[in-house]
């Protein structure tokens, strides 16, 4: 860990010094600071520890395989219309981005972000030799592996392992029912939150005997060494695919449960304190995704030391009746993003937030016989932020039959180039220890 490349680790330790005290590997320190932390878990303190300058990344997974061609439509391309006689989007309906590309008409939210200079679209993103499995493809995106390499750590998990050994569990927050594999790491990091109102141990009253006994079951007495002195328990039709999280390094299910219990206890008071002093803004649409983003906005405003938020939107596996299904999903996504970015702007927080969407694959160029599309390969990614180099990045892929691979679009930007760009330009960390090698970066950030 003395590698001079890890400049962000120092930053992390500086900015989350209190969080650092919660490192799982120093249990007695946990004990001593635990009570103090709870007493101090209010906005003033958390803001000092994080600073208002920390960059934040919000990941939105589009689960099921978002069809890129009907999202960012090549509306002058004859091959596109020949391949999609029933589900192709007529040129006069697209929301124009350039002389050749236009957005699905349902994506009005995206269009207004684009016009405001806050949206960048990376074309043709993928990786070599994709095999069209939801689950393998999701795993590859979540772990940033090569196509023939099997990793259990998530790419963000490796970022946290490198950048903040033993940081506050709220440094990574997943909103939704299942923890994403992207957060899996040697030293597990991050919490999962669905409803802040119920994110607590409910006793019969404040500091009642039951609550005290519950806390004492987990908060070690500094005189006891109950967690052991070694590090053995450290770290320790598709609507949703989050990748498979598995135990690591000989950790047992019991170790995992102990750590999760501890993280739940440590984080619950902070989350609730922040949620209660930051009421939700009312200007969001009614979708589940919008509700999740609304909660993220509240947590950002409340000053949690969170670097990465993760949220998932399902329903993109459009084998049948694609126009109805995908258009509705894209509308929901765009409208939610618009409300979220407006909310962040109003709170003066948009400048430190970047949003990235990804999906396990795009879909086959040629539609199938059920007004849908089967699993495919490369597709565009969306990056949203006020500090973005807005516009179109990456090469627009060719749809000429000779240029396709088994009916699929060939990628021309490796998805890890996008990850590397975000890690280096936005999170200001060295991407090599996280991604295994240096991928070419794209100019995504203006400053």
> Residues in the site for other proteins, rule: CB under 8 A?
63, 131-136, 169, 174, 177-179, 191-195, 197-204, 209-210, 213-214, 216-218, 220-221, 224, 226, 237-242, 244-247, 252-254, 256-258, 260-261, 263-264, 267-268, 291, 317, 319-320, 368-370, 372, 374-375, 406
Say if residues 222 and 31 touch (Cβ distance below 8 Å). Answer: yes
CA dihedral 290, 291, 294, 295 (to 10 degrees): -140
Nearest distance, CB of residue 145 and other proteins, angstroms: 14
What is the C-alpha separation between 179 and 438, in angstroms, rounded?
28
Nearest distance, CB of residue 219 and other proteins, angstroms: 9
Nearest distance, CB of residue 411 and other proteins, angstroms: 17
Nearest distance, CB of residue 234 and other proteins, angstroms: 16
Nearest distance, CB of residue 225 and other proteins, angstroms: 10
> 92 or 204: whose CB is closer to other proteins?
204
Say if residues 126 and 415 touch (Cβ distance below 8 Å). Answer: yes
Nearest distance, CB of residue 263 and other proteins, angstroms: 5
Residues forming beta bridges with residue 125, ordered by sequence position: 379, 413
What is the C-alpha separation between 109 and 96, in angstroms, rounded?
13
> 224 or 403: whose CB is closer to other proteins?
224
Non-local CB neighbours of 216 within 8 Å, separated by 6+ positions: none
Nearest distance, CB of residue 418 and other proteins, angstroms: 25
> 2 or 204: whose CB is closer to other proteins?
204
> 304 or 445: whose CB is closer to other proteins?
304
> 322 or 431: whose CB is closer to other proteins?
322
CA distances for 11 relative to 156, 187, 422, angstroms? 17, 18, 17
> 145 or 430: whose CB is closer to other proteins?
145
> 44 or 226: whose CB is closer to other proteins?
226
> 132 or 389: whose CB is closer to other proteins?
132
Nearest distance, CB of residue 222 and other proteins, angstroms: 12
């Amino acid at each position: 860990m003395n590698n001079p490349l890890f400049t962000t680790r120092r930053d992390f330790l500086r900015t989350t010094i209190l969080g650092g005290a919660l490192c799982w590997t120093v249990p007695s320190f946990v004990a001593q600071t635990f009570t103090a932390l709870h007493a101090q878990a209010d906005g003033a303190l958390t803001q000092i520890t994080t600073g208002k300058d920390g960059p934040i990344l919000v990941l939105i997974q589009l689960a099921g395989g978002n069809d890129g061609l009907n999202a960012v439509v090549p509306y002058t391309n004859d091959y596109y219309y020949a391949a999609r006689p029933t589900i192709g989007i007529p040129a006069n309906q697209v929301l124009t981005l350039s002389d050749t590309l236009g957005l699905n008409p349902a994506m009005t939210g995206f269009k207004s972000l684009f016009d405001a200079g806050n949206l960048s679209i990376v074309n043709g993103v993928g990786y070599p030799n994709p095999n069209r499995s939801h689950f393998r493809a999701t795993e590859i995106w979540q772990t940033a592996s090569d196509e023939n390499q099997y990793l259990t750590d998530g790419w963000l998990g490796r970022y946290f392992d490198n950048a903040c050994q033993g940081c506050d569990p709220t440094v990574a927050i997943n909103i939704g029912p299942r923890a994403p594999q992207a957060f899996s790491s040697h030293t597990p990091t991050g919490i999962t939150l669905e409803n802040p109102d119920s994110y607590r141990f409910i006793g019969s009253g404040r500091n009642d005997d039951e609550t005290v006994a519950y806390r004492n079951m987990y908060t070690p007495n500094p005189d006891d060494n109950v967690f052991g002195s070694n590090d053995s328990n450290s770290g320790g039709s598709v609507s949703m695919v989050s990748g498979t999280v598995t135990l690591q390094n000989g950790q047992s299910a019991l170790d995992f449960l102990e750590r999760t219990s501890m993280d739940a206890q440590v984080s619950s008071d902070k989350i609730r304190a922040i949620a209660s002093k930051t009421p939700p803004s009312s200007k969001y649409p009614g979708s589940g995704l919008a509700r999740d983003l609304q909660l993220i906005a509240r947590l950002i405003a409340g000053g949690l030391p969170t670097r990465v938020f993760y949220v998932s939107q399902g329903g993109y596996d459009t084998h049948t009746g694609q126009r109805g299904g995908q258009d509705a999903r894209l509308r929901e996504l765009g409208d939610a993003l618009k409300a979220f970015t407006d909310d962040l702007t109003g709170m003066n927080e948009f400048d430190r937030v970047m949003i990235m969407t990804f999906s396990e694959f795009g879909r086959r160029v040629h539609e199938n016989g059920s007004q849908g599309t089967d699993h495919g390969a490369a597709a565009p990614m969306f990056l949203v932020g006020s500090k973005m180099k807005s516009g179109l990045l990456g090469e627009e892929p060719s749809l000429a039959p000779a240029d396709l691979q088994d009916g699929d679009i060939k990628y021309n930007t490796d998805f890890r180039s996008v990850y590397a760009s975000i890690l280096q330009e936005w999170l200001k960390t060295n991407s090599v220890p996280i991604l295994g090698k240096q991928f070419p970066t794209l100019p995504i950030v203006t400053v």
